[in-house]
Chains A and B, each alone.
Chain A
Amino acid sequence: DAMVIQNPRYQVTQFGKPVTLSCSQTLNHNVMYWYQQKSSQAPKLLFHYYDKDFNNEADTPDNFQSRRPNTSFCFLDIRSPGLGDAAMYLCATSRDPRRVGGYTFGSGTRLTVV
């Protein structure tokens, strides 16, 4: 089935040690998003790619970066994770979010910082 796959499901990293989360899709959607979801908070958009065009949210810390080497893959890099970066990270894709179906989400990667 076409889907959005996030790896790994659970990631433990050390304070200050760079970590990369990955997302792949078989939907051939041209837009890919990264959201940060903390407990009891709304998922917060970090950035998104429209094709190869990178769009950073104004309040996304510089510590967070992203790469999209091709249509199928998108990576979230956290250069120096802090304890406050522990969260669920959601990847989503869309061709046209207004159409029925909207965004397609992955299952998320839960990041723990120790």
Chain B
Amino acid sequence: AQTVTQSQPEMSVQEAETVTLSCTYDTSESDYYLFWYKQPPSRQMILVIRQEAYKQQNATENRFSVNFQKAAKSFSLKISDSQLGDAAMYFCASLTQGGSEKLVFGKGTKLTVNP
């Protein structure tokens, strides 16, 4: 079974600064996918960024980028130029395969952005 671990229950960052959220995972699969989801307070969870394990290049979406270290099974999210709207719970997730595909989530990191 896949497991996802987020060791930072809470993080804070000053507006316009950069913050990195950590995530490690464990899987026996050779082909898998990793995601970061954002859940603002009282709002729906939305996809921030995804990474295919077979791709060596780190994914980037505007101010969001990942540092994917396959050998270390690490998948951190870097948010550059943090904005007040980035404040949310961030969940790291992995996608299992084989039969029915389903997301496995970490416990989340609550990000606070200070003005």
A102 adjacent to B106 (CB under 8 Å): no
Q: CA A40 – CA B107 in complex, angstroms?
A: 6
Query: Residues 16-50 of chain A: 1 if any B CB is under 8 Å from the residue's CB, otherwise 0?
Result: 00000000000000010101000011110100101
Q: How far is the CB of B68 from chain A (nearest CB, A)?
A: 16
Q: Which of B4, B45, B46, B91 has most A Cβ within 10 Å?
A: B45
Q: CA A33 – CA B96 in complex, angstroms?
A: 14
Chain A contributes a number of interface residues (CB within 8 A of B) equal to 25
Verify if A69 is at the interface (C-beta below 8 Å from B): no
Kindly list chain A residues whose C-beta atoms are within 8 Å of the C-beta of B103. 33, 45, 92, 97, 102-103
B102 adjacent to A105 (CB under 8 Å): no
Task: Select from chain A the residue with minimum beta-carbon distance to B92.
Answer: A42
Main secondary structure of the interface of B (DSSP, over half): strand
Q: CA A31 – CA B102 in complex, angstroms?
A: 10
Verify if B25 is at the interface (C-beta below 8 Å from A): no
B100 adjacent to A105 (CB under 8 Å): no
Known A40-B9, A42-B91, A43-B91; contact A98-B44, beta-carbon cutoff 8 A = no
Verify if B105 is at the interface (C-beta below 8 Å from A): yes
Interface residue from A50, A94, A100, A105 paired with B45 (Cβ < 8 Å): A105
Q: CA A5 – CA B49 in complex, angstroms?
A: 23
Query: Residues 69-105 of chain A: 1 if any B CB is under 8 Å from the residue's CB, otherwise 0?
Result: 0000000000000000000001010100110111101
Task: Select from chain B the residue with minimum beta-carbon distance to A100.
Answer: B50
Verify if A107 is at the interface (C-beta below 8 Å from B): yes
Q: CA A94 – CA B103 in complex, angstroms?
A: 11
Give the interface of B toward A (CB within 8 A).
Answer: 4, 9, 33, 35, 37, 42-47, 50, 52, 91, 95, 100-108
Given contacts A45-B104, A97-B95, A100-B50, 17 further A-B contacts (CB under 8 A): A31-B100, A33-B102, A40-B107, A40-B108, A42-B104, A42-B107, A43-B91, A45-B102, A50-B100, A90-B45, A94-B101, A97-B101, A98-B33, A101-B47, A102-B35, A102-B103, A105-B37
Give the interface of A toward B (CB within 8 A).
Answer: 4, 31, 33, 35, 40-43, 45, 48, 50, 55, 90, 92, 94, 97-98, 100-103, 105-108
